[in-house]
Amino acid sequence: MTVDIPSKENVKKTVGYKIGTVSGYMFIGIISIFFWVYLPIKLFVYDIDNYLINKYFPAFTWLLNFKFFIFIGAIALLWIFLGTKNLFVNVLIGFFYPLFIVCWKIPVLIFRSKSWNLAFAFANLIFSFFQSFKINFLLSAGFLISIAIVVFNANPKLIWISIVLLLLIVLSIYTLSFISVFKPTQIFKIYMKIFSWVREKPKSIYAMDNSIKKLPVSSLDQTQLQKRITNLQTSVLFNRICLYSAKKLRNYQSSGINIISNTCKILFLVFFTVFSFTFINFGLFKIDEKYFGFSASPHLFTFFYYSFTNLFYASIQQMTPALPISQIFSMFEFFLSLFLIVIFVSLQISIRSQRTSDELNKAIKVIENEGGIMESFIRDEYGLGTIDDAIEELQKAKAGLLNFVFILSAGIREDE
């Protein structure tokens, strides 16, 4: 794909690219990724821009004093060249880029890959997130506020409060994760409720009018016949969608993606624990440097490295817990590591996997049953022997969604 070079007349609408072109979206994506990687590192890990300029471009260190003005000047230039509308779109995409990835990029990639297993895995993730959105939001808010206090505040009392809050949040996450192993999954119940609701609620889109129900098909006028075909088509579609979805769920069950999902949960707990104890230990250091012994002047990444190795029962030369308080926190991280690796992993793999498989089997049977109920309804309501007879009638009437019905039917018969 070629990108037209903008002329002087439309330079206000472009800066080497247009919004909507491949190069334009790549540019926005690169800038947005850079922003979302740079900002957390700058705020919570390391003063990376100072380090890079001092190491590789020491002659330009004076520019660091004018970062704010350089940023404002860049925004002003982009405003001139892009115009208000395009600048606003760019800023929105960049500012909400993680949400843009989740809500648009990932679904588009899944659609293009034509992988139902990935689609179900992504849907399960979204359902799980919104199902526990309230508790996730509260814990995330408390977590971020505590980190901000530890990093930017020097009051020992406030730092102690933040450390305690971080510990409580860690314990809450572990408790919820442990309970979730034994708690029934609600995700597959959502699938069952959706199919049941679609079948039960809008009766008028499936059933024939009572005025024409008992009349022979040959005696129906054009309007009545069109109504019959439309409702029959909707009924057949629901039956096909039920059986097709059940088939794809069965494939999803045998794909092993659930194991990947459980593994991701464990990895999340690992990095969440490391990240939390990074700021817990950093807070202890800000309260009193004597809590730790150092071989060199530490920075925030040193605490991250210490917490990471500590979780796996290792130690580093640069940093050691020197007083009982820091040693107690180190022992507590050891205990969480024992719980995570020895207990939680085994429970997650054995109990949770089996429970998920059983619940998925139940959902598949319920969805298949919904399709069977609709097939019985078609026989009784339309006087047709089988679902194939219904499809044949739709074929003779040249129904509008017949090709879609054929695609679903082919998917149902696949590998049978």
For 278-297, what is the mean pLDDT? 90
| More confident position, 19 or 214 | 214
Q: How confident is the model at residue 25 (pLDDT cuts 50, 70, 90)?
A: low
The alpha carbon of residue 70 and the mean position of all alpha carbons in its chain are separated, in whole angstroms, by 35
Q: How confident is the model at residue 273 (pLDDT cuts 50, 70, 90)?
A: very high
Q: How confident is the model at residue 415 (pLDDT cuts 50, 70, 90)?
A: low
Q: Which of 17-26, 112-121, 138-147 shows the lowest mean pLDDT across its residues?
A: 17-26
> Average pLDDT over the chain, rounded to whole?
81
The reported pLDDT for the residue numbered 13 is: 45
pLDDT tens-place string over residues 193-240: 888 888 887 677 888 877 777 778 777 788 888 888 888 899 999 999
The reported pLDDT for the residue numbered 16 is: 41
The reported pLDDT for the residue numbered 5 is: 45
- Given a cut of 50, is residue 374 above it in pLDDT? yes
For 328-333, what is the mean pLDDT? 90
For 365-382, what is the mean pLDDT? 91
CA–CA separation, 352 and 127 (whole Å): 18
CA–CA separation, 181 and 173 (whole Å): 13
| Contact (CB, 8 A) for 353 and 258 | yes
321 DSSP β-pair partners: 292
Q: How confident is the model at residue 72 (pLDDT cuts 50, 70, 90)?
A: confident
Question: Could you tell me which of 349, 338, 322 has the C-alpha nearest to residue 273?
Answer: 338
Report which DSSP code applies to 344.
I
CA–CA separation, 265 and 261 (whole Å): 6
CB atoms within 10 A of CB 231: 19
The reported pLDDT for the residue numbered 238 is: 93
- Given a cut of 90, is residue 11 above it in pLDDT? no
CB atoms within 10 A of CB 22: 11
CB-count burial class (<10 Å; 0-12, 13-18, 19+) for 297:
exposed
What are the sequence ranges of the domains in the chain? Answer: 1-114, 162-413
- Judge if pTM exceeds 0.75: no
The reported pLDDT for the residue numbered 45 is: 62
CA–CA separation, 339 and 180 (whole Å): 15
